[in-house]
Each structure stands twice: as structure tokens, then as C-alpha cells.
Amino acid sequence: MAYSTDSAVAARVPGIATSADGAKGFVQRLVMQTVFGVLESQGRSALLPEAVISTILSQLNVTTNYEPLNCQKVVLSLAEMVMKNDPPSCIIMSNTVTGICTNMNDNMKACMVAPAMMVTITSINNSYSTISGTLSTTNIIMANWSKEMWQSALNRAVRMLASGPYRSNFFSASAAVGGN
């Protein structure tokens, strides 16, 4: 869920977006497809015809807000961190940014980048690991769902994200129904 405009990074991390808009679009599509999948499944469980399900889904709008992390340098293993001479921006393990390595030297947890050169591993700022959004509908039946019904659907979507191919990015995800 990060991006880099550096082609060398993109070559080493094939799944990384090449722009902030690309990363935002990916997150938008992933969340939307997951929510739609949950609602489609609920429609099938209620024995609704496919045409009705399709109409209902066309009346939904999912928008997400997300600030992607710009990774101009990366390391992909702890061994590589020891070997690299200049500090990386993003530490990526199994296609997930797990930390940011900076040049600051203090008493914080540090990574070895070169012999006797300590750099600080900082956690990822919440602004880069928080996805917020809205789900709205013009479908009269769904517009009158209770908060509990919406929460149940969102909880299923979160479980799907946390068990899907990008599970390491969503392992601690949660969703809450707010609004009017």
C-alpha cells in the first residue's frame, strides 16, 4: 500500500504502485470489490435474482481516503539492511512495509545498515496505515438498514481483507459504522 516513483524500487518490489494516485486507486478498488463481494453474497443468501443484486450494487458508492507512503529506497531482508551503505526509506517484508529506517541515532530500536553505523527504525505513521471511507446508497431498502446490519456487513468485509492476499496489510483492520 505504498508507492515509489523510482524505477529501481519498482523492479525490486513488483507490486508497488508507481504513483500516489496509483496506490490510492488500488486501495479504493480493493475495498470496493470486497464490500461489493460481501453484499453480493448476502443478496445470494437472500435468494435475490442476479439482476436485482446487480441493480442494488450499481446503487452503491464506496469512497476511500488514504495517504500512501512514498518509498524511494527499500530493503527486502534483514541481511540486506546489514549490507546496504545508505539508509533505506522503507523496510519491506513479504510485500508489506514493516518500518521506516532513518539516519537518526538515538536510544530507539535501530537497524545496522553498515558496520558500526546505527540508524533508527521508526514505526509507520498512522496516517499511512489508516484507510477511512464512506459507503452510500440510493437503494431504498439498503438505505434503511440498521447500523447493526451495516456493521455486520463491514465486519465480514474486514475479515475478508484480513484473510485475503493482502492480509498482512489488514491483520489489525477494523470498521465502524458512523453517520446519520
The tens digit of pLDDT for each residue in 151-163 reads: 999 999 999 999 9
Task: Choose among 27, 26, 37, 29: nearest CA to 156.
Answer: 37
**pTM of the prediction?**
0.79
Task: Choose among 118, 136, 5, 167: nearest CA to 70.
Answer: 5
In this structure, the dihedral spanned by the alpha carbons of residues 60, 61, 66 and 70, taken in order and rounded to 10 degrees, is 100
Task: Choose among 138, 105, 109: nearest CA to 121.
Answer: 109
132 or 100: which carries more pLDDT confidence? 132
Task: Choose among 129, 118, 116: nearest CA to 1.
Answer: 129
Residue type, position 63, single letter:
T
Radius of gyration of the CA atoms of the chain, in A: 20
Task: State the pLDDT at residue 160.
Answer: 94
In angstroms, what CA-CA distances link 2 with 71, 86, 100, 106?
A: 7, 20, 12, 27
Percent of the chain whose predicted confidence (pLDDT) is above 90 = 43
Cell of 16: 508497488
**Residue 87: how many other CB atoms lie within 10 Å:** 21
